[in-house]
Amino acid sequence: MINLEERVVEKKSFFNRLIIIYLFFALIFIFFLERTYSLQISEFSNYEIAAIENKTKEVLVQPVRGIIYDRNGNIIVNNFPSYDLIIKPWKILDLNKFIEEISIVIELNPGEIDFVTENFKRKARYNRELILKKDLTRVEIARFEVRGFNFPNAFIDKRYSRRHNYPHLFSHAIGYVGGINNEKLSSILDDQALDFDETIFSYSNGFLIGKTGIENKYDKILRGLYGKKIYEVDARGKLVKQTDYIQPKNGDSLFTSLDLESHKVAYEKMNNRRGAVVAVEIESGSIVTYLSTPSFSSNDISNGISSKAFNALLKDPNKPFFDRAAQGRYSPASTIKPAIGLFGLEENLIDWNFSINDPGYFILPEDQRVYRGWRKSGHGNVNLNKAIIVSSNTFFFSLAYQSDIDSLINHLSNFGFGKNICLDCFNPDIGLLPTPEWKMNNLNFGWFKGDTVNLGVGQGYLSATPLQFAYYASFIANKGSNKRLTFVDSQTTKTLENLPLKNIQNSDWDKLHSSMIGVINDPQGTAKRLKDLKTYTVAAKSGTVELVSTETKEDYKIIRENEGNRDHAIIIAFGPMPEPKYAVSVIIENGESGGSVAGPVAIAVLNSLIEK
């Protein structure tokens, strides 16, 4: 027992100590209150955002790509709907029973059943849809329409595939679409300030991007803008309800300058030979024909092809994937002669009356080396007009011999050689316009006079693509001015580019055109066989690209046993004269004769463009 005095002391001590603890608790409590205040008031906006981010899920909605038309409004590439049967797993209690019942209406193969069984639980947990069967037939759709009321948790949804209406005609011009890598996808979504996330696809193949050709160059226009559905989700990521929907903006249609009929003709005439056909509308610089053969089905590549068939295409020695029109490098051969002739006139090295004797060869004075023409006996007395018509090598060897190489190269570059002359082509090659520096750097040899002489007939190092040849043809047709080439006029701005000539008169151009008309119309013309294939006048220049240098016709007969050694056939042409509308270039690899092999293709294409 404690006494009264002690009781007072005890009471006082108790009070003090209880107060101490209460004060201590009060401190903690104030600290707590400060924390709550800072969470709820000071940092409110951060946490508000965090809470919204927690519960918000954005699901991307894929837009449908734009349609691609030819210049006459024919649809070249479209979106083709297919119909998939889709189920809502979270509403289906017994999957086996469901499959059993729906199998009566729509037959399912074991692979489809396995796929559904495998993914069912996961999709159900997160309230996600699941594709039960892809690409329903019309019969299946009809059966489901009639009996679908039994299956409220299944529905048919439209999914597109990208379809070319003429799968082989535009494989390189339009190109194809394919899957997209993550990096590219994120950068596309970044442009729209979206994050990569779950997506509701409009295409059965998922994300698409233009891989080649116009599909690639104009991907941004064709693609459209992704939409998004905004859902409220719970902590497990389960969709609770849709709170907002921003519709996707489908891609814009693209009206190209391509001409369907001319492609049909070119494709038929090329008949799967290796080569390319490019035709342009001279005034606008619009590409109307763009064909590289052999070609491939762009539908197969876009929408699935067996790996066996794909490998066969890859290993095909004719290289169907190779875009010869924009990437194939070919020597211009004799087609360069009009440009060389113009150089002679411009530099006052020759005039239209100047003539030389063509004995069938040219001897380089420096080393007595012999440069031969295509005709052993030569062409006798030739002036520029005749030299173009009969394609005299000696005349142009001799003219090139007198030329200053730097001026000549500069002159040729104005015709589009060694330059990119297309504004919206897919990966165009610029060919090769050789210079002495180039030769020293790449071949470790100085420039010989003989190199300049070879340049005079378009042999040697100079090379260009069929696209450049078409530009070149158009440039001559338009008398030294041209617009850069394009597929889509509305999306490009083009200015007229002029050849800076001082001494060439309009009459010179007329004479040149007349010589090139002579190539077809003159009895001595190298392409005289084309004369009756048309009803209007065409100017042309044919060429034969030597792949293996031979001294005699007998030697050539030996080497031509191997098809790969045969000369390439090349022609440039434009018409109708005297006011040409279209220019065309045709290359047929190992076709041997520019005039009689490549020529008919060029004329057929011009016919389809001109004679409507």
Partner 1 sequence: MKKKLDFKNFSIYFDQYLFISITLLSIMGLFFLYSASQEDFNTVMKQSIFVGFGLILMFAVSQLDPDFYKTFSGFFLLTSIILILATIVFGKEINGAKRWLDLGLFSLQTSELIKISLPIFLASYLYNKPLPISPKHTFIMLILIVFIFFLVYRQPDLGTGLVVFMAGIYILFLAGLSWKFIFTSFGLIVLSLPFLWNNFLQPFQRQRILTFLDPSNDPYGSSWNITQSKIAIGSGGMSGKGFQQGSQAHLNFLPEAETDFIFAVIAEEFGFVGVCILLSIFFFILLRCLYLAFNARDRFCRLTIGGLSLVFASTLLINLGMVVGIIPVVGMPMPFISKGGSSLLSFYIAFGIIISMATHKKLMQK
Residues that bind partner 1 (CB under 8 A): 1-2, 6-7, 9-11, 13-15, 17-18, 21-22, 25, 28-29, 31-33, 35-37, 39-41, 43-44, 46-48, 50-52, 54-55, 232-236, 240
Q: Which residue has the tokens 């030769």?
A: 439
Query: In this complex, which beta carbon is closest to partner 1, that of residue 33 or of residue 558?
Result: 33
Report in angstroms how near the CB of residue 198 gets to partner 1 at its nearest. 18
Indicate the residue among 35 and 369 with the shorter CB distance to partner 1.
35
Q: Which is nearer to partner 1, 48 or 366 (CB)?
A: 48
Q: Please give the helix or strand (H or E) that residue 324 lies within, else none.
A: helix 324-327
Of 28 and 193, nearer to partner 1 (C-beta) is: 28
- Collapsed DSSP state (helix, strand, coil) of residue 43: coil
The region, left, alpha or beta by phi > 0 then psi within -120 to 50, assigned to residue 368 is left
**Cα–Cα distance for residue pair 528/501, rounded to 1 Å:** 31
Pick between residue 22 and residue 536 the one whose CB is nearest to partner 1: 22
The residue (of 35 and 557) whose beta carbon lies closer to partner 1 is: 35
Q: How far is the CB of 119 from partner 1 (least distance, A)?
A: 23
- Tell me whether residue 37 or residue 445 sits nearer to partner 1 (CB atom): 37
Nearest distance, CB of residue 194 and partner 1, angstroms: 23
CB of 230 to partner 1, least distance (A): 14
C-alpha–C-alpha distance, residues 291 and 420, integer Å? 18
Q: Which residues of 553-589 are buried (b: 16+ CB within 10 A; e: fewer)?
A: eeebeeebeeeeebbbbbbbbbbbbeebbbbbbbbbb
Taking alpha carbons only, the member of 84, 61, 199 closest to residue 131 is 84
Q: Is 36 exposed, middle or buried (0-12, 13-18, 19+ CB in 10 A)?
A: exposed
Query: Is the separation of the CB atoms in 328 and 277 below 8 Å?
Result: no
Reduced to 3 states, what is the DSSP secondary structure of residue 379? coil
In sequence order, which ranges of 464-540 are alpha helices (DSSP H)? 466-477, 506-521
CB 101 within 8 A of CB 150: yes
**CB closer to partner 1, 15 vs 536:** 15
Q: Which is nearer to partner 1, 55 or 158 (CB)?
A: 55
Q: Could you tell me the CA-to-CA distances from 238 to 48, 116, 154 in Å, in that order?
A: 21, 19, 19
Smallest distance, partner 1 to C-beta of residue 32, A? 5
Rounded Cα–Cα distance for residues 90 and 195 (Å): 26
Minimum distance from CB of 13 to partner 1 (Å)? 5
> Closest separation between CB of residue 244 and partner 1, Å?
15
Distance CA 164, CA 171 (A): 9
CB of 53 to partner 1, least distance (A): 9
Burial of 279 (0-12, 13-18, 19+ CB in 10 A): buried
- Closer residue to partner 1, CB minimum distance, 39 or 443: 39
d(CA 193, CA 212): 26
**Least Å from the CB of residue 92 to partner 1:** 23
CA distance 106 to 100: 10
Shortest distance in whole angstroms from residue 51 CB to partner 1? 4
> In whole angstroms, how close is the CB of 485 to partner 1 at the nearest point?
58
Whether the CB-CB separation of 408 and 418 falls below 8 Å is answered with no
Q: Please, which residue, 17 or 122, has the CB nearer to partner 1? A: 17
What's the angle, vertex CA 257, arms to CA 252 and CA 263, rounded to 5? 115
Residue 223 makes CB contacts below 8 A (sequence gap 6+) with: 63, 65, 66, 188, 209, 210, 251
Minimum distance of partner 1 from residue 183's CB (angstroms) = 28
Where helices occur in 109-175 by DSSP H, the ranges are 110-125, 138-147
Residue 7 or 97: the one with the smaller Cβ distance to partner 1 is: 7
